[in-house]
Amino acid sequence: MNVEQLTRTAQAMVAAGKGILAIDESTGTIKKRLDLIGLESTEDHRRAYREMLLSTPDLGQHISGAILFDETLRQTTSSGQRFVDLMKNAGIIPGIKVDKGAQKLAGHPGEMVTEGLDGLRDRLAEYAKLGAGFAKWRAVIKIDDSAPTSACVDSNAHALARYAALCQEADIVPIVEPEVLMNGSHDLDSSYEVTEATLKSLFSALYDQGVLLEGTILKASMVISGDECDEQASVPEVAEATLQCLYNAVPAATAGVVFLSGGQSEIVATQHLDAMNSVGPHPWPLSFSYGRALQHGALMKWGEDIENNVAAAQAILAHRARCNGLAATGQYDESVEAA
Ligand code: 13P
> How much of the chain, in percent, has pLDDT values that exceed 70?
100
Half-sphere exposure of 129 (CA within 13 A, CB side): 6
pLDDT band at residue 135, thresholds of 50, 70 and 90? very high
**Ligand 1 atom, smallest distance to 177 CA:** 10
pLDDT mean across residues, the chain: 98
Q: Which of ligand 1's atoms lies nearest the C-alpha of 294?
A: 2
Measured in Å, residue 290 CA sits from the centre of ligand 1 at 5
Q: Residue with the nearest Cα to atom 4 of ligand 1?
A: 262
CA distance 312 to 319: 11
**DSSP label of 75:** -
CB 20 within 8 A of CB 288: yes
Q: What is the pLDDT of residues 51-65, one digit of tens each?
A: 999 999 999 999 999
Closest CA to 286 of 309, 256, 266: 256
What confidence tens digit (pLDDT) does each residue in 255-283 have? 999 999 999 999 999 999 999 999 999 99
Provide the b/e sequence for 234-255 (b: ≥16 CB within 10 Å): eeeebbbbbbebbeebbeeebb
Q: Establish whether the linkage from the previous residue to 281 is cis, with ω within 30° of 0.
A: yes
Task: Give the residue whose CA is nearest to atom 9 of ligand 1.
Answer: 260
Torsion sign, CA atoms 336, 276, 10, 216: negative
Contacting residues for 234 by C-beta, under 8 A, at least 6 apart: none
174 Cα to the center of ligand 1, angstroms: 16
Q: Is 233 helix (H, G, I), strand (E, B) or coil?
A: coil
How many angstroms separate the alpha carbon of residue 22 from the centre of ligand 1?
A: 6
pLDDT at position 55, please? 98
The protein residue with its alpha carbon nearest to ligand 1, atom 1, reads 291
Q: Are 142 and 148 in contact (CB under 8 A)?
A: yes
The per-residue pLDDT for range 22-42, each reduced to its tens digit, is 999 999 999 999 999 999 999
Measured in Å, residue 30 CA sits from the centre of ligand 1 at 12
Cα(20) to ligand 1 centroid in Å equals: 10
pLDDT band for position 161 (50/70/90)? very high
Show me where the domains of the chain are located.
3-338
* Residue 12 C-alpha from the chain's centroid: 15
Residue nearest to atom 10 of ligand 1 (CA): 138
Q: What is the pLDDT of residues 166-178, one digit of tens each?
A: 999 999 999 999 9
Nearest-atom index, ligand 1, CA of 259: 2
Active site residues: 177, 219
DSSP conformation letters of 23-45: E---HHHHHHHHHHTT----HHH
Nearest CA to 218 among 241, 197, 236, 202?
Answer: 202
Residue 319 is predicted with a pLDDT of 98
Q: How far apart are CA 6 and CA 172, in angstroms?
A: 7
3-338 is a CATH 3.30.450.40 domain: no
Ligand 1 pocket by Cβ (under 6 Å):
22, 138, 177, 260-262, 290-293
Per-residue confidence (pLDDT) for residue 17, from 0 to 100: 98
Phi, psi of 259 (to 5 degrees): -100, 150
20: helix, coil or strand?
strand
pTM of the model: 0.98
Average pLDDT, stretch 204-209? 98
Residue 168's pLDDT is what?
Answer: 98
| 210-260 per-position pLDDT tens digit | 999 999 999 999 999 999 999 999 999 999 999 999 999 999 999 999 999
User: What atom in ligand 1 is closest to the CA of residue 261?
Assistant: 2
What is the rounded distance in angstroms from the CA atom of residue 64 to the CA atom of residue 73? 16
